[in-house]
Copies of this chain bind each other. A is one copy, B any other.
């Protein structure tokens, strides 16, 4: 029988060195039982990704390295871990060879350190400049690249590096190449073709803080054949280098896989033109986005020890979708929705919110805010009489934030913010009001995407013959904050299809105002959108973490300078 190699598609927890080691040992043992002769982990599995400032502590890096070397496995492993460096150098982002009673040792360090978008690796690591070659491991020789190392070759980086580690390896005649921690079929096939060897890519799955990995580990062969593991599932891909058809996916049994019924392998034979099943360069499908934000919220709660979620339910689309995602993440018994009508709330806002909670089967409570609202207005009467009308609107939003936080604090639960990226980008949200919460599950979704995943949620319930969480009234009503009489978003904003595309051009493509106009929008609309965006930068500075899908994020760790803008409104 040919050599079987297991790609351990694991979901580590940042900082939990001991737990991550146990996870690798468990997966490796299961893989060995299924016949694997060796196994590969994702990048930085020992520390979890992104370890951020933990890497500034030499003690943490040493602990990772020592724990990685001593991993107990009957088959040999290639394990991703931070590695200590010489004095006055940052640590390395590397790979340890261990297991099989051999005694662990470092075998390579990452060369290309992405420092753009969701990545910040040059802040934390020193780059290496040597190709990663591992000889005589379980009878094979390996070339090893770590994530970004393989991306330069496919041209999928925003600015070019000076070296291309795949080309470095191309002159070398090993028997396989292992790429660790990245994603995307295109990169794997491109590398396999150039190298004329199979290329294996083991990706992390799950969320840590605000960063999400989708899994979908890949094996690719020089003829274009490839096999891809499912997304949002923890387990291992068993790869038969000689016979792609023998590859198998094994889900970790007690993994609370959020990707029900989608745990099949994707297989493509090399004769077909192959499009990666999902690529973050392309728009994601609504069901994939739904899985992404559900995993993000689930893992955030699981890894920070939170067992219950509280959120406001307004009867609008955002809070209905956020509640559905919360139920998908933790189950209906761990979600509480608060209805907090004010004198400006429409009748349907309460009716629709109740319908969502009932359909989801979660707890809900109704707390009218009128008494607090009147008390606040009495205290601030003089200021409100002569002041900006936004002050009176924000009071309502902040009283709701206070109640949601009050229940969360009393129960040791977490409040979540229900806003989306389009509204945040236009300032249609209130700091310390609807922006209050430990996490914003929809914070990196455009409003049009919120509608799309509302459809995916309803489809899921419909297929189970259950009442729909997001009813037609919620889906079809004109978006409104209901903080003043007859208020509607479209009194100020362009339609969300237009707004989202203008924001996307600016945030994801870095286009200037005039470049966006060339895409077919009127100058007036583009300018008004970008001016509102600039004026609300300060809100993004204080937004809660949101699950980030690469190449789309803003407001988290880097940002536009506030001082570049002249206007201000809280």
Q: List the interface of chain A (C-beta within 8 A of B).
A: 13-16, 48, 50-54, 56-60, 88-90, 115-116, 120, 122-123, 126, 158-160, 208-209, 299-300, 303-306, 367, 369, 371-372, 375-376, 378-380, 383-384, 386-388, 390-391, 394-395, 398-399, 401-403, 405-412, 414-415, 431-432, 436, 438, 510-512, 514-515, 538, 541-545, 554, 557-570
CB-CB < 8 A to A60: which residues of B?
A: 512
Given known contacts A115-B122, A208-B561, A544-B541, is B569 in contact with A409 (CB within 8 Å)? yes
> Is B375 a contact of A89 with CB atoms below 8 Å?
no
> Is A371 a contact of B367 with CB atoms below 8 Å?
no
Q: Which residue of B lies closest to A405 (CB)?
A: B570
Distance in angstroms between the alpha carbons of A347 and B532 in the assembled complex: 45
CB-CB < 8 A to A557: which residues of B?
A: 557-558
Select A116's contact among B123, B299, B406, B515, beta carbons within 8 Å.
Answer: B123
Select A57's contact among B88, B299, B431, B512, beta carbons within 8 Å.
Answer: B512
CB-CB < 8 A to A58: which residues of B?
A: 510
5 closest Cβ contacts across the A-B interface?
A387-B410, A15-B564, A59-B512, A391-B409, A391-B410
Select A384's contact among B379, B410, B512, B563, beta carbons within 8 Å.
Answer: B410
Of A16, A208, A376, A388, most buried by chain B (CB within 10 Å of CB) is: A376
Given known contacts A515-B59, A558-B123, A559-B53, is B388 in contact with A376 (CB within 8 Å)? no
Query: Nearest Cβ in chain B — how far from A170, in angstroms?
Result: 21
CB-CB < 8 A to A126: which residues of B?
A: 159
Query: Nearest Cβ in chain B — how far from A300, in angstroms?
Result: 7
> Is A15 a contact of B388 with CB atoms below 8 Å?
no
CB-CB < 8 A to A367: which residues of B?
A: 379-380
> Is B566 a contact of A120 with CB atoms below 8 Å?
no
> Is A570 a contact of B398 with CB atoms below 8 Å?
no
Query: Nearest Cβ in chain B — how far from A409, in angstroms?
Result: 4
Select A304's contact among B52, B158, B563, beta carbons within 8 Å.
Answer: B563
- 16 of the cross-chain contacts (CB-CB < 8 Å) are A13-B563, A50-B561, A54-B561, A54-B564, A59-B511, A59-B512, A122-B123, A304-B538, A371-B375, A372-B375, A383-B410, A384-B410, A395-B406, A402-B432, A542-B544, A545-B562
Additional A-B contact list (9), CB under 8 Å, known A59-B512, A376-B402:
A51-B561, A52-B561, A88-B159, A122-B122, A304-B562, A387-B410, A394-B406, A402-B432, A409-B570
> Is A305 a contact of B15 with CB atoms below 8 Å?
no
Q: Which residue of B lies closest to A303 (CB)?
A: B563
Distance in angstroms between the alpha carbons of A406 and B16 in the assembled complex: 42
CB-CB < 8 A to A13: which residues of B?
A: 563-564
> Is B412 a contact of A14 with CB atoms below 8 Å?
no
> Is B436 a contact of A411 with CB atoms below 8 Å?
no
> Is B160 a contact of A88 with CB atoms below 8 Å?
yes
Distance in angstroms between the alpha carbons of A402 and B554 in the assembled complex: 27
> Is A383 a contact of B407 with CB atoms below 8 Å?
yes
> Is A569 a contact of B412 with CB atoms below 8 Å?
yes
CB-CB < 8 A to A376: which residues of B?
A: 372, 402-403, 406
Given known contacts A159-B89, A376-B372, is B560 in contact with A52 (CB within 8 Å)? yes
Q: Which residue of B lies closest to A402 (CB)?
A: B398
Select A405's contact among B398, B405, B559, beta carbons within 8 Å.
Answer: B398
Given known contacts A116-B123, A304-B566, A568-B414, is B560 in contact with A54 (CB within 8 Å)? yes
Query: Nearest Cβ in chain B — how far from A379, in angstroms?
Result: 5
> Is B406 a contact of A209 with CB atoms below 8 Å?
no
Distance in angstroms between the alpha carbons of A88 and B474 in the assembled complex: 45
